Amino acid sequence: MDIKILGPGCRNCATLEKRTHEALAELGQDATVTKVTDYAEIAAYGVMQTPALVIDEQVVVSGKVPVTRALRELIEAAG
């Protein structure tokens, strides 16, 4: 599974990354988590609000930071 955190590196971006790692740990699932800070690359996903979460090249969250439980559900649904 390939997960990307899209955003400029703000506090919400860091929180989304932390919660994503927590969700993966709770699920016992391995994934590659990459931070994307390049605005052109973020725009290529059609994202207008950051932070955003991309799982296997599909934008699943944009403009908010879900709680860890919600992230677990998104990861499970994508898996």
Range of the domain at 36: 2-78
pLDDT 10s digits, 25-78: 999 999 999 999 999 999 999 999 999 999 999 999 999 999 999 999 999 999
CATH number at residue 54: 3.40.30.10
Token readout for 4 is: 């990307």
Total domains present in the chain: 1
Active site residues: 10, 13
| pLDDT higher than 90, residue 79 | no
